[in-house]
């Protein structure tokens, strides 16, 4: 139902405006490409890809997986302002977010893909659904598989999408349990991470991919082979279970990873979009229209 040509008559400059905005944002701070990729994931897993994560009301931003962690709202706002100037009242915040995720991935060296468009924006957000649907970094493989299955995504798609952790940073509180307690971790990697993380709490940042945190590549999977996954949930993909073989394949074939990642991103972007006359085109991504 979404279409890559949805705005070709109503907003032909849309993709150029988003690309220019993302170029500028990534030049200013490379990590922001990762942050927008994650923001789109956190949107899609809560009520579908409907821009709910962008709403200030509703408590979704304060849900445990989001609070003090999700970022990139200013970039969405700046791009939305440019889009509104060119094509007022036409393009949803949900679609802008989908395009920023694609461009963020590409600008950090990842694959590109054509983004199906035509999503509309929700009038609600949900803290409860964010807490229930977003995977915690303490998850085991069975939990990851079931949380992705709930969104219509297969274990293989979950394994490909987790490769997003080839870019970006994380706070100690999300991996302290792993570096202090897990057995399936490379001891020298655990020691390295403990150097900047005290044994509880703490918002200090570390790269998720110890090798190339600023580059979208297959190093994430090579890390898993070496027991250098940062989150317990990362290493769960390569811990003697059903995804081991695919992790090995992706570690050996970056081209396969790139192509499967792009396909899985399109599939994730199709989670329960609002279309037709459902929802609205928000004027301001932070608030519902009055």
Which residues carry out catalysis? Answer: 42
Under the binding rule (CB under 6 A), the answer on residue 137 touching ligand HEM is yes
Under the binding rule (CB under 6 A), the answer on residue 139 touching ligand HEM is yes
Report yes or no: 210 and 166 within 8 Å, Cβ to Cβ. no
Report yes or no: 280 and 49 within 8 Å, Cβ to Cβ. no
| Partner from Ca ion, ligand HEM, none contacting 217, C-beta within 5 to 8 A by type | Ca ion
Q: Find the shortest distance in angstroms from Cβ 89 to Ca ion.
A: 21
Under the binding rule (CB under 6 A), the answer on residue 256 touching ligand HEM is no
Residue 260 known to bind ligand: no
Q: Find the shortest distance in angstroms from Cβ 47 to ligand HEM.
A: 17
How many residues sit in the footprint of ligand HEM (CB under 6 A)? 26
Q: Find the shortest distance in angstroms from Cβ 38 to ligand HEM.
A: 4
Report yes or no: 257 and 160 within 8 Å, Cβ to Cβ. yes
Q: Find the shortest distance in angstroms from Cβ 16 to Ca ion.
A: 26
Cα 18–Cα 69–Cα 217 angle in degrees, nearest 5: 60
Among residues 116, 135, 155, 269, the one that binds ligand HEM under rule CB under 6 A: 135
Among residues 6, 7, 41, 216, the one that binds ligand HEM under rule CB under 6 A: 41
d(CA 148, CA 44): 11
**Tokens at 25, concatenated:** 């944002």
Under the binding rule (CB under 6 A), the answer on residue 61 touching ligand HEM is no
| Partner from Ca ion, ligand HEM, none contacting 161, C-beta within 5 to 8 A by type | ligand HEM
Beta carbon nearer to ligand HEM, 81 or 134: 134
Under the binding rule (CB under 6 A), the answer on residue 210 touching ligand HEM is no
Under the binding rule (CB under 6 A), the answer on residue 285 touching ligand HEM is no
Cα 100–Cα 156–Cα 44 angle in degrees, nearest 5: 35
Beta carbon nearer to Ca ion, 64 or 85: 64
Per-residue b or e along 66-103, where b marks 16 or more CB atoms closer than 10 Å to that residue's CB: beebbbbbebbbebbebbbeebeebbbbbbbbbbbbbb
User: Cα-Cα-Cα-Cα dihedral of 193, 197, 199, 201, to 10°?
Assistant: -130
Residue 95 known to bind ligand: no
Residue 217 known to bind ligand: yes
Can you give the binding site for Ca ion, defined by CB under 5 A? 43, 46-47, 50, 52, 166, 209, 212, 215, 217, 219
At residue 266, φ and ψ (nearest 5 deg) are -65, -40
Among residues 14, 22, 25, 38, the one that binds ligand HEM under rule CB under 6 A: 38
Beta carbon nearer to ligand HEM, 92 or 159: 159
Distance in angstroms between the alpha carbons of the first and the last residue of the chain: 28
Report yes or no: 6 and 98 within 8 Å, Cβ to Cβ. no
Residue 249 CA from chain centroid, whole number: 22
Where do we find the tokens 């079931």?
146
Where do we find the tokens 């706002």?
77
Count CB-CB contacts under 10 A for residue 29. Answer: 11
Binding residues (CB under 6 A) for ligand HEM: these are 31, 34-35, 37-38, 41, 69, 71, 135-137, 139, 144, 161-162, 164-165, 167-171, 174, 208, 231, 233
Q: Which residues are annotated as a binding site?
A: 43, 46, 48, 50, 52, 60, 135, 165-166, 209, 212, 217
């Amino acid at each position: 139902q979404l279409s890559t040509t949805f705005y070709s008559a109503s907003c032909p400059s849309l993709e150029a405006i988003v690309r220019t905005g993302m170029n500028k944002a990534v030049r200013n701070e490379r990590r922001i490409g990762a942050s927008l990729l994650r923001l789109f994931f956190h949107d899609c897993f809560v009520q579908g890809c409907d821009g709910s994560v962008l709403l200030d009301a509703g408590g979704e931003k304060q849900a445990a997986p989001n609070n003090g962690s999700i970022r990139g709202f200013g970039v969405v706002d700046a791009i939305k302002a440019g889009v509104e100037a060119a094509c007022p009242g036409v393009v949803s915040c949900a679609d802008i977010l989908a395009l920023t995720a694609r461009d963020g991935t590409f600008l950090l060296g990842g694959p590109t893909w054509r983004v199906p468009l035509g999503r509309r924006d929700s009038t609600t957000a949900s803290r409860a659904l964010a807490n229930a649907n977003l995977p915690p970094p303490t998850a085991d493989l069975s939990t990851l598989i079931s949380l992705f299955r709930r969104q219509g995504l297969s274990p293989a798609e979950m394994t490909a999408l987790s490769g997003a952790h080839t870019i970006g940073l994380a706070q100690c509180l999300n991996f302290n349990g792993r570096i202090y307690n897990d057995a399936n971790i490379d001891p020298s990697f655990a020691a390295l991470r403990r150097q900047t993380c005290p044994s509880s709490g703490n918002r200090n940042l570390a790269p998720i991919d110890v090798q190339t945190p600023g580059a979208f590549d297959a190093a994430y999977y090579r890390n898993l082979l070496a027991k250098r996954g940062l989150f317990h949930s990362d290493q769960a993909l390569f811990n003697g279970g059903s995804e081991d073989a695919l992790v090995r394949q992706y570690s050996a074939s970056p081209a396969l990873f790139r192509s499967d990642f792009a396909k899985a991103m399109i599939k994730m972007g199709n989670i329960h979009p609002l279309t037709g006359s459902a929802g609205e085109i928000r004027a301001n991504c932070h608030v519902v229209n009055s």
